[in-house]
């Protein structure tokens, strides 16, 4: 029996919404393990050796970090319907990378300009350290004019892509680019309500947002964290061949390395390099709660150095 697809996620998380929609696009069955919205995350750490961001996809003893790679792996395991229709994988990746890096923080801060005072004080403090950003209501209100400015050009570019009645950003079919552009706006609207909706130039995007939302979330089952740990412990990492010598800086399989995100939360994840190519870096980690696991990162957005 194939190992279940498990997403370590929380419902409030916009990047998790992107993956939930990818399951919807593909009509997949998956299991949700609820992780806390801030550290500590004691049932995730044994699986990821320190990578704490949401979401993480687990299949057996393989952990896929970062939604860029998670979507690529979902596509590899279930190719149809495609997240990269008409051979547009490169374009979809590039658009996703641009749109998330430009819209995530301003969109989140617009939401917290409305709901910032409903979030636990510890969450606000934790995110200050983790993201170097103050998401308190007070600071978010003060920054609201700037955050509206920061989104303006990017949202107008999305509108231009949809001109002439094009249903999705890359054409007639939804792609990873749509999910990446959608989830930060979903978060801003859902939490910012009418105040944020009225302030953002969303008019040309509303029907497109409805189409993306209609993809749904596939078939979700909730799973306790302990069960996910047991699945990892009972599984062997996937040994599908990845080149051990394709790192452009000369790192080689078998070497101890540290992998860090190059934007927020740069705490390194340590392990032994299993393989690396232009798109992916895989390290091995062993822990008594889960045995041996492989932790996969996308190449883009992560730095890998010898430990
Ligand atoms: N580039 C990452 C970004 C993930 C991210 O920043 N996720 C947010 C939640 S939506 C997060 O992890 N925040 C800190 C946390 O949950 O501990 C991805 O595509 O997965």
Pair (201, 240) in one structural domain: no
pLDDT values of the chain reduced to their tens digit, one per residue, 307 residues: 789 999 999 999 999 999 999 999 999 999 999 999 999 999 999 999 999 999 999 999 999 999 999 999 999 999 999 999 999 999 999 999 999 999 999 999 999 999 999 999 999 999 999 999 999 999 999 999 999 999 999 999 999 999 999 999 999 999 999 999 999 999 999 999 999 999 999 999 999 999 999 999 999 999 999 999 999 999 999 977 777 778 889 999 999 999 999 998 788 999 999 999 889 999 999 999 999 999 999 999 999 999 9
Comparing CA positions, the residue from 94, 102, 194 lying closest to residue 156 is 102
Query: Which CATH number belongs to the domain containing residue 128 in this structure?
Result: 1.20.1050.10
CA dist., res. 288 & res. 292, Å (int): 8
Ligand 1 mean position to 54 CA, how many Å? Answer: 4
Pair (182, 277) in one structural domain: no
Nearest CA to ligand 1 atom 20: 66
Domain final residue, candidates 213, 228, 258: 213
Per-residue pLDDT, 266: 81
Domain count, the chain: 2
Residue 301: strand, helix, or coil: coil
Provide the domain limits for residue 106: 87-213
Ligand 1, pocket-test mutation among 15, 16, 51, 119, most atoms within 8 A of CB: 15
Per-residue pLDDT, 1: 77
Ligand 1, pocket-test mutation among 13, 112, 119, most atoms within 8 A of CB: 13
Domain final residue, candidates 165, 184, 213: 213
Per-residue pLDDT, 223: 98
Domain final residue, candidates 161, 186, 213: 213
Q: Is 194 exposed, middle or buried (0-12, 13-18, 19+ CB in 10 A)?
A: exposed
Query: Which CATH number belongs to the domain containing residue 27 in this structure?
Result: 3.40.30.110
Residue 215: strand, helix, or coil: coil
Pair (206, 107) in one structural domain: yes
Per-residue pLDDT, 264: 82
User: What is the rounded average pLDDT for all residues in the chain?
Assistant: 96
> Any residues with Cβ below 6 Å from ligand 1, and which?
13-15, 37-38, 52-54, 66-68
Pair (208, 151) in one structural domain: yes
Per-residue pLDDT, 265: 78
């Amino acid at each position: 029996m194939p190992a279940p697809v498990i997403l370590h996620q929380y419902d409030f998380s916009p990047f998790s919404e992107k993956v939930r929609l990818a399951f919807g696009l593909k009509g997949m069955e998956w299991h949700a393990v609820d992780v806390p919205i801030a550290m500590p995350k004691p049932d995730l750490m044994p699986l990821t050796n320190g990578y704490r961001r949401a979401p993480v996809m687990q299949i057996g003893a393989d952990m896929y970090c970062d939604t860029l790679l998670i979507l690529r792996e979902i596509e590899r395991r279930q190719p149809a319907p495609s997240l990269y229709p008409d051979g547009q994988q490169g374009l979809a990746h590039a658009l996703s990378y641009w749109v998330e890096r430009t819209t995530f923080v301003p969109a989140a801060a617009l939401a917290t300009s409305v709901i910032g005072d409903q979030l636990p004080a510890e969450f606000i403090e934790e995110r200050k350290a983790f993201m170097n950003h103050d998401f308190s209501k007070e600071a978010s209100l003060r920054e609201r004019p700037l955050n509206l400015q920061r989104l303006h050009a990017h949202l107008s570019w999305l509108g231009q892509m949809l001109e002439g009645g094009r249903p999705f950003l890359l054409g007639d079919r939804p792609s990873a680019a749509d999910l990446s552009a959608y989830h930060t706006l979903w978060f801003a609207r859902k939490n910012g309500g009418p105040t944020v909706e009225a302030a953002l130039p969303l008019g040309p995007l509303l029907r497109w947002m409805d189409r993306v939302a209609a993809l749904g979330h596939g078939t979700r089952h909730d799973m306790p964290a302990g069960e996910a740990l047991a699945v990892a412990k009972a599984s062997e990492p996937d040994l599908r061949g990845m080149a051990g010598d394709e790192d452009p800086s000369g790192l080689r399989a078998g070497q101890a390395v540290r992998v860090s995100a190059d934007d927020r939360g740069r705490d390194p994840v340590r392990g032994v390099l299993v393989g690396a190519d232009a798109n992916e870096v895989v390290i091995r980690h062993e822990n008594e709660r889960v045995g041996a696991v492989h932790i996969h990162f996308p190449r883009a957005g992560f730095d890998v150095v010898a430990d």
